[in-house]
């Protein structure tokens, strides 16, 4: 076990000890193996993250560089449209970096939550009014379902509005004009369930369990073209879970719309 723990400390996370007896030493060996597995998984996640980030930054960076080279060689004519496109591409990188920084803050627990009792409809109205003009612009109807009085939730106001705004902007992004998005809240035992239901593109069943994964996109080209960083839902899940709730996605399939819901505890 001493040899194994030294190997693990030196970075050989695939090292395991053979468990022979189910006594105290055997239990210790099992804990050592569990620790090695956890370290091995964390290392794999770290390696994947670096690969994903490099991949995400490469495309917009290649576009910007290509245009700049064209301009320098005189092959591409400078024009307001070209500069606008360059500006868009750098905006994409900026959003990605901002979202990554936010994700790292949320996942490492470096954000301080200011939770207090708050009326669920107040959160819903704040998110709805933030996005009202974007909905008008795309001609997607945004409605808020109001059912009887609800108890207060224990939540951080800004962070919860951030989650709702994120789900709402996704709903808007994936719902074509003439469609509809409905926002609501209802009591569920000791929780309030917030819901964002849209009549948009929907999500095929095989993709549903993965939409909260970092950089996971059902249709990568389409999502990137629409400016998505692919980590909005990962941040949303972290924010909900850090407030004691859960988040989930449902959809009956392609073009059947989607329903995103999350819970927050009722304040007592
Ligand atoms: P993105 O920035 O790409 O929107 P998100 O993490 O917010 O990243 O969402 C991950 C993926 O989940 C999206 O790329 C999209 O494929 C899918 N998705 C999220 N919300 C919806 C929705 N309301 N309707 C259909 N697909 C959605």
- pLDDT, one tens digit per residue, over 256-268 is 999 999 999 999 8
217 CA from centroid of ligand 1 (Å): 6
Q: How confident is the model at residue 196 (pLDDT cuts 50, 70, 90)?
A: very high
Backbone angles phi, psi at 51, to 5 degrees: -60, -45
**pLDDT recorded at residue 187:** 94
Both tokens of 225, joined, read: 């073209």
Spell out the residues 6+ positions from residue 69 whose beta carbon is closer than 8 angstroms to its own: none
Question: What count of other Cβ atoms lies within 10 Å of the Cβ of residue 91?
Answer: 12
Of 122-126, 172-176, 221-225, 235-239, the one with minimum mean pLDDT is 221-225
Mean of pLDDT values over 185-202: 96
The pLDDT value recorded for residue 86 is 93
Ligand 1: distance of its center to the CA of 76 in Å?
35
Of the candidates 46, 137, 69, 93, the one whose C-alpha atom is nearest the C-alpha of residue 227 is 93
Average pLDDT over residues 145-150: 87
Per-residue pLDDT band at 230 (split at 50, 70, 90): confident
More confident: 151 or 110: 151
Confidence grade of residue 37 (pLDDT, cut at 50, 70, 90): very high
Tell me what pLDDT residue 33 has: 95
Q: How far is ligand 1, taken at its centre, from the CA of residue 235, in Å? A: 12
Average pLDDT of the segment spanning 198-220: 92
What would the pLDDT profile of 148-159 be if each residue is shown by its tens digit? 899 999 999 999
Place of tokens 């468990």: 19
Helix axes 232-242, 157-173, angle to 10 degrees: 150
Q: What is the pLDDT of residue 145?
A: 93
Please tell me the residue having the least CA distance from ligand 1 atom 21: 170
For residue 49, give the 3-state DSSP assignment. Answer: helix
Rounded CA separation 105/88 (Å): 26
Query: Measured from the CA of 171, which atom of ligand 1 is nearest?
Result: 23
Going from the Cα of 186 to the center of ligand 1, the distance in angstroms, rounded, reads 24
Which pLDDT belongs to residue 26? 92
- Measure the CA–CA gap between 227 and 173, rounded to whole angstroms: 10
Confidence class of residue 220 from pLDDT cuts 50, 70 and 90?
confident
Nearest protein CA to atom 4 of ligand 1, as residue: 228
Angle ∠(43,44,48) on CA atoms, nearest 5: 120
pLDDT in tens, 113-124: 999 999 999 999
The pLDDT-based confidence of 172 (bands split at 50, 70, 90) is very high
Q: What is the CA radius of gyration of the chain?
A: 23
The CB of 258 under 6 Å from ligand 1? The reply is: yes
Q: Which residues contact 229 (CB under 8 A, 6 or more apart)?
A: 56, 95, 96, 99, 100
Q: Burial-class residue 147 by CB neighbours within 10 Å (0-12, 13-18, 19+).
A: exposed
Give Cα separations from 181 to 135, 139, 268 (angstroms).
Answer: 9, 11, 31
Distance from the alpha carbon of residue 100 to the mean position of ligand 1, in angstroms: 16
Distance 211 CA to ligand 1 centre (A): 7
Placement of tokens 């005189």 in the chain? 74
- Atom 7 of ligand 1 has which residue's CA nearest to it? 232
- CA pair distance 107, 87, nearest whole angstrom: 30
Ligand 1 binding pocket includes 201 (Cβ within 6 Å): yes
Parallel, antiparallel or unpaired: strands 180-188 and 141-144: parallel
How many CB atoms lie under 10 A from the CB of residue 227?
A: 11
Q: From the CA of 200, give the closest atom in ligand 1.
A: 24
Residues in the chain: 268
The chain-wide mean pLDDT, for the chain, equals 93
Rounded to the nearest 10 degrees, the angle between the axes of helix 157-173 and helix 120-138 is: 30
Cβ of 96 below 6 Å from ligand 1: no
Ligand 1 centroid from CA 241, angstroms: 19
* CB of 140 closer than 6 angstroms to any ligand 1 atom: no
Q: Once rounded to an integer, what is the mean pLDDT over residues 186-201?
A: 96
Burial class for 139, CB neighbours closer than 10 Å (0-12, 13-18, 19+): exposed
Residue 12's pLDDT is: 94
* Closest atom of ligand 1 relative to the 228 alpha carbon: 2
**For residue 174, how far is its CA from the centre of ligand 1 (angstroms)?**
8
The rounded percent of the chain whose pLDDT value lies above 70 is 100
List, for residues 39-71, the tens digit of each pLDDT value: 999 999 889 889 988 988 998 899 999 999 999
pLDDT value of position 107 = 86
CA-wise closest residue to 264 among 118, 111, 114: 118
What was the pLDDT predicted at 229? Answer: 81
């Amino acid at each position: 076990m001493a040899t194994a723990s030294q190997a693990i400390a030196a970075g050989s996370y695939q090292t395991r000890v053979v468990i022979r007896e189910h006594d105290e030493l055997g239990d210790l060996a099992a804990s050592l193996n569990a620790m090695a597995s956890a370290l091995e998984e964390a290392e794999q996640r770290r390696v994947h993250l670096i690969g994903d980030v490099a991949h995400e930054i490469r495309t917009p960076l290649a576009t910007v560089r290509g245009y700049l080279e064209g301009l320098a060689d005189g092959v591409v004519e400078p024009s307001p449209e070209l500069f606008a496109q360059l500006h868009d591409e750098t905006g994409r990188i900026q959003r990605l970096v901002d979202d990554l920084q936010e994700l790292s803050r949320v996942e490492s627990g470096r954000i301080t939550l200011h939770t207090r009792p708050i009326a669920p409809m107040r959160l819903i109205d704040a998110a709805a009014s933030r996005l009202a003009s974007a909905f008008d612009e795309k001609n997607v109807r945004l409605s808020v379902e109001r059912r009887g009085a609800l108890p207060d939730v224990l939540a951080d106001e800004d962070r919860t509005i951030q989650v709702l705004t994120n789900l709402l902007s996704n709903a808007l992004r994936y719902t074509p004009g003439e469609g509809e998005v409905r926002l609501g809240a209802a009591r569920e035992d000791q929780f309030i369930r917030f819901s964002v239901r849209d009549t948009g593109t929907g999500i095929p069943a095989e993709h549903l369990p993965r939409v909260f994964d970092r950089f996971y996109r059902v249709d990568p080209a389409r999502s990137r073209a629409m400016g998505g960083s692919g980590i909005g839902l990962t941040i949303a899940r972290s924010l909900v879970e850090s407030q004691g709730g859960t988040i989930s996605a449902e959809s009956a399939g392609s073009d059947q719309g989607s329903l995103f819901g999350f819970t927050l505890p009722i304040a007592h």
